[in-house]
Structure 1
C-alpha cells in the first residue's frame, strides 16, 4: 500500500492490542495514552475500579480500552486478566510489564512480609502473566515484550535490596525469552528507567518530608543530565519496541536514566 510516497506494510496498519501490567498511573498511563493515539486497543489493570473507569471515560475510548481490577499478588487474578483480554480483543501483540513497588528496605531491616510482597508483585506477577501471554504469542507467531527495569538492577542502593533483586531477575527473564522464543517471532527487551517523577515517587518523598521542589533540586545534583525523568521520557522507546520497526530487535537493554548509574 502506498500513501503520500510512503510504502506502508500491511502489518503496520493492522490494529494492535497492547496489554499493560499497570497502566492507570505514571508512565503506564502515558503508554496507554500513546497507544490510543496510535489507534491500538489497550488492556490495562489496577487496584481501583473507579480509577480505571475514570480513565476510560476521560479518553472517550470505550471500544479500544479494557480495564481489569487486579490484585497483583493473586495468581488467579493474573490468569483472569489474560483470559478477559483475549476474550475482548482476541490477541495480544505486545505486553508491557510496568507495575511494581519500591519499598525502602535494606537486607538488615527487611521483614518477611515486605520481601514476599516485593517478589510477588515485581517478579511473580510478570512471570505468571508471561506464562499465559507467551502461549498466545506462540500461536500468533509474533509478539513484543517490554520489561521495565531500573538502574538498581546491578546492585542497587543499600536501602533497596529486595527491589534490586527483582529488577536484576527481570533482566535475566527478558534475556531468557529473547534467546528461547525468537524462533516463534517473539522479541523481548529491557528498558532501564531512571529516577522519574511519578505519583508514587512524589508520594514517597512527601512522606519522607521532601517537597517536590526539594526533590527536583536534589535530583539535579545527582543525575548527570541535570534533571529527573518526567513520565513522558520513556515513551518513544516503548512505542518503538511495540512497533513493527523493532521487528529484529530482541535481547536489548536501553538505559533512559539521564546518565545515572547506581
Structure 2
C-alpha cells in the first residue's frame, strides 16, 4: 500500500487529492493549521486507519521535521510527496514589504525545501519514490500584483528539475504540475476581501481564460493521480499544465 504525504490537504485541491488517494487505498498524511478541520476530515472519511493529520506551522522548521518523523512513525515509509500548500499575497514588486516577502518565501519555498530534504533521505533508503510539485500559471511572469508568489513558484520549478536530474539514480522521480486559476475557498476569500463576489469572479475568469472558465478543485486530480501512480514510473523532470490555456 502506498503512503502519500501531503503538504496541505485540508482545503481545496489538497482535500480532493486526499479523497482520491483514499479511493485508491493509499495511506495519507496531511497537515494544516486547524486541528478541528483535520479531525473532521478523518471522522467523515470512514478511513481512520489510513489517515494521519498533523497540526503545523509552515514557518517552523522544527514543525516540518516533526511532521516527517510522525508520518514515518505512523506509516513506516513515504512513497509519494505532494508539495501543494502555499499562500498568495497580493502585492506588486514596488509595493511588497519585507514581512510579505519573508512570509511567502517561508511558506511557499522554505517549508517544501526542508520537508523534501527529509523525505528524499527516506526515499533513497527505500530505493524509489515520487515527488510532485504544485506550480502556478504565474510562474512564467505572473500578474503584476503577484510578484513574490510568482517568484516562489518559478523557484520551485527549478527545485523540481534539480531533484529529477540528481535523484533519478535512486529511483526517485520529480514532476511539476502547473495549476491555473482555480475556484478554491482561498481564492473566494481573497476576492471577497477585494469586494468581488463569486459570480463576478467567474464572469471575469471566463473572459480571461481561453477555455472559458475557472478550474474546479477536481480538475487537476487526474493529472495528480497519474504522477503518483506506477503509470508514471518513467516520467520525471516533466511539466504539465492544467490551466485552461492561461499564460501560454
Tell me, in whole angstroms, the C-alpha distance in 1 between the residues paired with 2:141 and 2:245: 17
Ranges of 4+ aligned residues in structure 1 off by more than 2 Å: none
| Residue of 169, 174, 184 corresponding to 1:198 | 184
Q: 2:71 maps to which residue?
A: 85
| Residue of 26, 29, 33 corresponding to 1:40 | 26
The answer to whether the aligner puts 1:56 opposite 2:42 as a matched pair is yes
1:80-133 Cα shifts (integer Å, max 9, x gaps): 000000000000000000000000011111111110000000000000000100
The answer to whether the aligner puts 1:100 opposite 2:111 as a matched pair is no
TM-score by length of 2: 0.99
Q: 1:256 maps to which residue?
A: 242
Tell me, in whole angstroms, the C-alpha distance in 1 between the residues paired with 2:105 and 2:192: 25
Q: 2:96 maps to which residue?
A: 110
Q: How many residues align?
A: 248
Give the CA deviation at 1:38: 0.4
Q: 2:165 maps to which residue?
A: 179
Q: 1:210 maps to which residue?
A: 196
TM-score by length of 1: 0.94
Tell me, in whole angstroms, the C-alpha distance in 2 between the residues paired with 1:89 and 1:22: 18
Q: 2:149 maps to which residue?
A: 163
Runs of at least 5 residues in structure 1 that lack an aligned partner in the other structure: 1-14
Tell me, in whole angstroms, the C-alpha distance in 2 between the residues paired with 1:91 and 1:44: 14
| Residue of 222, 232, 238 corresponding to 1:246 | 232
Tell me, in whole angstroms, the C-alpha distance in 1 between the residues paired with 2:208 and 2:143: 13
Tell me, in whole angstroms, the C-alpha distance in 1 between the residues paired with 2:138 and 2:201: 19
Q: 1:10 maps to which residue?
A: none
Tell me, in whole angstroms, the C-alpha distance in 2 between the residues paired with 1:56 and 1:104: 33
Of 79-88 and 210-219, deviating more is: 210-219
Q: 1:12 maps to which residue?
A: none
> C-alpha root-mean-square deviation of aligned residues, in Å?
0.6
Q: 1:222 maps to which residue?
A: 208
Tell me, in whole angstroms, the C-alpha distance in 1 between the residues paired with 2:109 and 2:37: 24
Runs of at least 5 residues in structure 2 that lack an aligned partner in the other structure: none
Q: Tell me which structure has the larger Cα radius of gyration.
A: 1
